[in-house]
Every structure is written in structure tokens, then in C-alpha cells.
Amino acid sequence: MRALTKLNAGPGLELVERPEPTCGPTDVMIRVLRAGLCGTDLHLQQWDDWAAATVRPPLVIGHEFYGEVVEVGAEVTGVEVGDRASGEGHIVCGRCRNCRAGRRHLCIRTQGIGVNRDGAFADLVVIPASNVWVQPPSLDPDLGAVFDPLGNATHTALQWPMVGEDVVITGAGPIGVMAAAIARHAGARYVVVSDASDYRLGLAHSAGADVTVNVTRESLADAQRQLGMKEGFDIGLEMSGAAPAVTDLIANMNHGGRIALLGLPHQPYELDWGKVITHMITLRGIYGREMYDTWYAMSQMIATSEVFRAAVTQVITHRFPAEQWEQAFATARSGQCGKVVLDWS
């Protein structure tokens, strides 16, 4: 089969022929139809310090995908050949305290598809049946491929009730834009999104943001004045990992404000802990998706709201056949895009 593979410990990837994977008794084999590019994939291509410390080549990368089930293990129930499905990219141990308590997204032994084991930038991928999310046959394959990042956005955005709240999102990458659509769908009063890219801020506006802030020209305080806000934001969603964005975010939170942080910083940074303490601001780290409450929530939002479905679909701005993976990666790295999807059909 074709597989986009990290063959050696160093920069670069290669599209090569590899043996088809084996489907175990509790596994499901999926023929990949679409796969989304993620920032993680860019790190693996570049081979930065994180990639070097995490990945053991050779490895097929990729973890955002949608496809058709072509084989199920002898012990599998609830998934059938011919089903269309997406996959939860985190494989958990099932034995640690968090797993046994039903908090699988907090598993201390999580294995990442396309990071710690062969992934989905290939014709075929094998995952445990428990990680398969069967989709409606009518679902757009491109949309099915972005359920992983949509899950990140959903997990982050729905930490607290949003009805009537003023929400600010720092970072207008695909997940930040999806979070804007979720905030609008969930009943926020105002939704403000900040970024340094006018292109991505345009996507955020289309997804439902009331005001967008280009941080090279203005600040969140400017957005507050534009909206006539008096007390600061109630909920902050940090998607950028950028220290200046976090500083501006904390400075513009209301007393008792709540911040969910998903963006991974490239390096440590200082926080205004005095403001966090005296304003009683809650900081909550977010990683991955809740298994499987997040999947139910995003599936129902997609199924029941044409407006929400359209807002998420417009985040997918570029599509390439798998053979043009180098152009796809260059586009994703440029920042002048939303979500980039590879067609493996």
C-alpha cells in the first residue's frame, strides 16, 4: 500500500510502498478516503526537538482521517465491513486509574496514532475497534476527516456553559475557527477571535465571530471598546500557544473569568499570576477529546444544524490528492489556509 512515512530520524517524509497492516482480533481495518493535516504532522516532517524525543522511525504518520471499514477482527462487535468511520487518535491502556474511572482522555499511557504507532497517511490503517467512530453514510468525507480537530475545539469550548457569555478565542487556526462556530452555536453573546493572519481571521468571521482582532494592529481591549463591553471577557479559549496572546487574554478577563488552554507553547513563558489570583481566574489545560462525550456532542451539532455544519466545512480550504502531499504540507505551513485535506481515495 501507499504510505507517507518517516523513514529515518531527520527532516523529511517519503511516500513509499509498505506492507498492508494486520488486523488483530479486536481491531478494525479502515481504507482511508480522506486525511487532514495537523500541526503535529508539520513537526514530524520538520523533525524538531519534540519529534526527535517522541518518534521512533520508521513510522507512517497522520491521525486525522475518515474512511471505509474493510475488515473487522473476530472479537469485534458494533462495527461492520462497509461502515464509514472516523477514528479517535488516542489509544488508551484501559488499566490505569483514570481509564478504570471512565476518564479515558486522562490515560497516563496514551499512544498516539501516527506518532507512537503507524498512522493514517496511507491506503489502510488499523485501530482498535473501541477507537472507531461510525459515521452516517451521508456525511461528507472531508468533514469526516476533521472530526479529530473538531473534537479538540469542542472539548475546549464546552468546558463551561456559554449561553449569554462573552467569549474570546486567541488563535485562528482551524481549531480556533471551529471553536468560534461552537461558541456561536452554544449561545455566546459576543465571540471575539484574535490572530496575526487576516486570512484566518476572515474564516473566523465566517464561522460566527462578531469581532476579529489582528494583533499586529490592535488588541483585545480595542475589541471590548468596539462592542461596548465594560467588565472583560467571561470565557477565554487559548488556541495559539503564543505568550503575547496569553498575556493579552489574561489582561482582558473579567473577575472570575475562565480560561481553557489548548495551544501548546513553543517555549516556557511568564504569566501575570497576580492578576490570575486577585481576579480569581480559572486556568484549565485541555488535551485531546473526552472519550466519548466529545464525539457525541460534535456529531449532534453537525447533524442538527446546517449553519454549524457549513461553518465547520468552510474551515477546509485546500484539498490535494495524496501524491501531492509536498504541496499540501507547504500550503499548511504557509498559514494562508484553513484545514488542508489529503484525498487517498
The string of pLDDT tens digits covering residues 144-190 is 999 999 999 999 999 999 999 999 999 999 999 999 999 999 999 99
Burial of 100 from C-beta contacts in 10 A (0-12 / 13-18 / 19+): exposed
Q: Do 2-146+315-343 and 153-285 agree at the fold level?
A: no
Q: Using CA atoms, how far apart are residues 38 and 241, in angstroms rounded to an integer?
A: 15
Would you state the torsion angle of the CA atoms of residues 320, 326, 328, 334, taken in this order, to the nearest 10 degrees?
Answer: -160
Interior/surface letters 248-273, b for 16+ CB within 10 angstroms, e for the rest: bbbebbbeebbbbbbbeeeeeeeeee
Task: Give the CATH superfamily of 153-285.
Answer: NAD(P)-binding Rossmann-like Domain (3.40.50.720)
Q: Residue 295: pLDDT band by 50, 70, 90 thresholds? A: very high
Q: Using CA atoms, how far apart are residues 16 and 3, in angstroms rounded to an integer?
A: 6
Is residue 22 within 8 A of residue 126, CB to CB? The reply is yes
pLDDT digits (tens, 9 = 90+) for 213-250: 999 999 999 999 999 999 999 999 999 999 999 999 99
For 61, residues 6+ apart whose C-beta sits below 8 A from its C-beta are 4, 5, 6, 13, 41, 44, 45, 114, 115, 119, 121
Q: What mean pLDDT is reported for the chain? A: 97
Domain boundaries, the chain: 2-146+315-343, 153-285
43 is catalytic: yes
Measured at the CA of 143, the angle between CA 93 and CA 151, to 5 degrees, comes to 40
Q: What kind and span of H or E run contains 318?
A: strand 316-321
Specify the pLDDT at position 267. 87
The fold adopted by the segment(s) 2-146+315-343 is: Quinone Oxidoreductase; Chain A, domain 1 (3.90.180)
pLDDT digits (tens, 9 = 90+) for 78-137: 999 999 999 999 999 999 999 999 999 999 999 999 999 999 999 999 999 999 999 999
Q: Which of 5, 22, 26, 40 is catalytic?
A: 40
Specify the pLDDT at position 110. 96
Tell me the CA end-to-end span of the chain in Å, nearest whole number: 12
313 is catalytic: no
Q: Which of 43, 63, 90, 105 is catalytic?
A: 43
Q: What kind and span of H or E run contains 156?
A: helix 147-157
Q: What is the pTM of this model?
A: 0.95
Of the candidates 264, 214, 223, 272, the one whose C-alpha atom is nearest the C-alpha of residue 242 is: 264
State how far the alpha carbon of 142 is from the alpha carbons of 145, 146, 323, in Å: 5, 7, 17
Q: Residue 255: pLDDT band by 50, 70, 90 thresholds? A: very high
